[in-house]
Amino acid sequence: MINLSGVTKKYLTKVALNDVELELTKGKIIGLVGENGSGKSTTLKLLAGLTQATRGSITINGKKVNRIANQVSYLSELDSYYGFYNVGQTIDFFASQFSDFNQEKAEEIRTFMNLDRNAKLKHLSKGNRGRLKIVLTLSREVPVILMDEPLSGLDPMVRDSIVKGLISFIDLERQVVVITTHEIKEIEAILDEVVLIKEGKILGHRNVEELRLEENVGIVEWMKKISG
Q: Give the model's confidence band at 70: pLDDT under 50 very low, under 70 low, under 90 confident, else very high.
A: confident
pLDDT, one tens digit per residue, over 25-45 is 999 999 999 999 999 999 999
How much is the average pLDDT of 208-225? 93
Predicted confidence (pLDDT) at residue 56 exceeds the cutoff of 90: yes
The mean predicted confidence, pLDDT, of the chain is 92
Predicted confidence (pLDDT) at residue 117 exceeds the cutoff of 80: yes
Q: Give the model's confidence band at 131: pLDDT under 50 very low, under 70 low, under 90 confident, else very high.
A: very high
Rounded Cα distance between 171 and 26, Å, is: 10
Predicted confidence (pLDDT) at residue 1 exceeds the cutoff of 90: no
pLDDT, one tens digit per residue, over 142-171 is 999 999 999 887 887 788 888 888 888 999
Rounded Cα distance between 177 and 195, Å, is: 13
CA angle at 163 for the pair 162 and 165, rounded to the nearest 5°: 60
**Reported pTM:** 0.93
Residues comprising the chain, all counted: 228
pLDDT value, residue 68: 60
**Higher model confidence: residue 104 or residue 126?**
104
Q: Could you give the residue ranges of the DSSP H alpha helices within the chain?
A: 40-48, 87-97, 103-112, 126-138, 156-166, 184-187, 208-210, 219-227
Q: Give the model's confidence band at 195: pLDDT under 50 very low, under 70 low, under 90 confident, else very high.
A: very high
pLDDT value, residue 69: 64
Show the domains of the chain with their CATH numbers.
2-227 (3.40.50.300)
Predicted confidence (pLDDT) at residue 186 exceeds the cutoff of 90: no
Predicted confidence (pLDDT) at residue 6 exceeds the cutoff of 90: yes
